[in-house]
Amino acid sequence: MLRLAESLADTAGECEYWIGFDRDELGVAFLELRAEASLPLVCQRTLDRFELPVTIRQRLGLIRDEREEVALPEGYEPVLVPADGALRLADTIEDELILAVPVVPLSDHGLLADGVVWQDADADAPGEQAPASPFAVLARLKAQD
């Protein structure tokens, strides 16, 4: 999974998966995918390596033409099957794992060194008033004229 490896801290780990093919009650061909993995990522807050547990449960509607996408039932994601009908399952699994990688990976512990809790600098602390507007002084000067 070379495309996925570009987003990971390293390539250690495994992915367990199950794939089934079937048709639903409307006759729509689908691929059902279940996958579990722990993706090794670099936290963009602390720059530490962490593992993001990923569980994928997806029903993929098999289509041969992009126009068929509108006919897929709700809850199906489209997968365009090549003209020769050969669907590369490893690529399909890799695609779903790539979609599971967050744009900005952050570990969930939320702590920095020595137990300092990370919080947004713009967030008001409980019980504190919001700081005065930097334009308040200008408004007072203008009012004096």
Q: With helix as H, strand as E and coil as C, how does 80-123 read? A: ECCCCCCCCHHHHHHHHHHHHCCCCCCCCCCECHHHCECCCCCC
Q: What angle do CA 62, 22, 61 make, to 5 degrees?
A: 20
> Is residue 12 a contact partner of residue 40, using CB atoms and an 8 Å limit?
yes
Residue 65's φ and ψ, nearest 5 degrees, are -140, 145
Structure confidence at residue 12 (pLDDT): 86
What's the token pair of residue 24? 């639903």
Residue spans of the chain under pLDDT 70: 109-132, 145
**Selection from 30, 87, 91, 26 nearest residue 57 by Cα:** 30
Radius of gyration of the chain (CA): 24
pLDDT digits (tens, 9 = 90+) for 4-34: 999 999 998 899 999 999 999 999 999 999 9
Structure confidence at residue 55 (pLDDT): 95
Structure confidence at residue 132 (pLDDT): 67
Secondary structure (3-state) at 136: helix
Structure confidence at residue 119 (pLDDT): 59
16: amino acid identity, one letter? E
Structure confidence at residue 3 (pLDDT): 93
pTM: 0.70
